[in-house]
Amino acid sequence: MNARVVERPTSVEEASQLLRDTDGTVLLRGAGTALGWGGPVAGTDLTVDTRALTGVLDHTAADMTASVRAGTPLAELQAAVGEHGQWLALDPPTEAAGATLGGLLAAGDSGPSRLRYGNLRDLVIGVTLVLPDGTVARSGGHVIKNVAGYDLAKLVHGSMGSLALVAEVVVRLHPRPAESVTTVGEADADQAADAAARLTASTLEPTAVEWFTTGDDATGRLVVRSDGSPVAVAVAAAGVEAVLGAAGVRASSCPPAEVPGLWDELARAVVGEQDETVVRVATLPSDLAATVAHARRAAEAAGVRVRLVCSAALGLHTLRLAGSTPAAVVAVVNGIRGHALARGGSVLVRHRPDDVDTLVDALGPPPSSVALLRRVRDQFDPTGRFAPGRFEPWYGRSTA
């Protein structure tokens, strides 16, 4: 991903001028927490580092909105709006590594609170983009010019820097919960799936339901967070324990002093280690147990170690793989992909060591909507200037 030139614009105008005055291929990057996601980006002519596009432009506490330059770290925004008892309801595991608002939108990254609040595209109400030719486009909040027919924030969500540079975002905020309780219990995958289904069908409205393994045992830790007023949280905590008990999970409230460490542990488990291949699997929530069982069997057959983190009520699973050979790891990835695709799911390779990178298909077969995706890309970036290779071969090779 090396580039001959690195530029750090400090404003929308500078970014626009930079792209107008240059040609060749471009890699867009913020804190770099998702640079390895998707297909490998070939050596580019220019890297545009957005981390100088920083700062909270406006926070209207009464309206619970904030306008932010896209290179602003999420943690910085949370600190600024937190002074007013508010937060952007987003808790990705990369926040501690400095993940920026623009990078999180481009990557489509989220965290456990997605269950209650949705992902970032649900929280962005306005966006300013700079297109590959330097054109500035805005939609939503603080509208100056719209690209007719497009909700630009939703369009670039998950585009991984292949359509436009995210320069500014306007986000919807929520009140910071007055109280929070985390309920924890030991559970195997079947119990976790059952408990998640019961919680989803209940009136308890948990903020997050996560299950993760810490070793090779079949059991893992089921973690449920409930937020709200002190009275509501107390009622919810009792209700969660009862629901988990009905699923065969013996659970209790985590002591408050241990809660931050528990969620930090879970975030680190999602990110994984440098020598691991990290795979994101999306399935129906009801497929949790079958997906975990298949992953364990495939890993055991290949001699690969697997660690799992599952957003149990969402059907999102992070698998961390480490094996004796790259080929063994790739065999497990391919097996998991076949299992997920047969059930209408998907698999994205998020991170892998160099020796695995040359062997693995990061994206898998294109979706049925690939023709539409190509038409959108061709309107925004007809020469394939941005992030060449990121969606190869879905988009076809760059002609920039």
Given a cut of 80, whether residue 398 has pLDDT beyond it is no
Structure tokens given for 226: 């409930």
**What are 54-110's pLDDT values in tens digits?**
999 999 999 999 999 999 999 999 999 999 999 999 999 999 999 999 999 999 999
Residue 149 has what pLDDT? 55
Q: Which overall architecture, per CATH, does domain 272-365 show? A: 2-Layer Sandwich (3.30)
Name the strand (E) or helix (H) holding 5.
Answer: strand 3-7
**Cα angle: 397, vertex 398, 400; to 5 degrees:** 160
C-alpha 291 chain-centroid distance: 20
CATH of domain 178-268: 3.30.70
Please state, in angstroms and rounded to a whole number, the distance separating the CA atoms of residues 302 and 295. 11
The domain ranges of the chain are: 1-176+366-400, 178-268, 272-365
Residue 250 has what pLDDT? 96
Shared fold status for 178-268 and 272-365 = yes
Share above pLDDT 90 across residues of the chain, in percent, rounded to a whole number: 90
- Across the chain, what does the average pLDDT equal? 93
| Its pTM surpasses 0.85 | yes
Name the strand (E) or helix (H) holding 67.
Answer: strand 65-69
**What are 217-263's pLDDT values in tens digits?**
889 999 999 999 999 999 999 999 999 999 999 999 999 999 999 99
Residue 130 has what pLDDT? 98
- Which residues are CB-neighbours of 282 under 8 A, at least 6 positions away? 315, 316, 317, 340, 345, 346, 347
**pLDDT tier at 397, thresholds 50, 70, 90:** low
**Cα angle: 224, vertex 291, 250; to 5 degrees:** 35
Whose CA is closest to 292, among 360, 217, 365? 217
Residue holding tokens 């010019």? 145
CATH topology classification for 1-176+366-400: 3.30.465
**What are 33-60's pLDDT values in tens digits?**
999 999 999 789 999 999 999 999 999 9
Given a cut of 50, whether residue 216 has pLDDT beyond it is yes
Concatenated DSSP letters of 170-210: EEE-EEPPSEEEEEEEEEEHHHHHHHHHHHHHSS---SEEE
Given a cut of 80, whether residue 145 has pLDDT beyond it is no
The arithmetic mean of pLDDT across residues 188-210, rounded, is 97
Given a cut of 50, whether residue 189 has pLDDT beyond it is yes
C-alpha 130 chain-centroid distance: 22
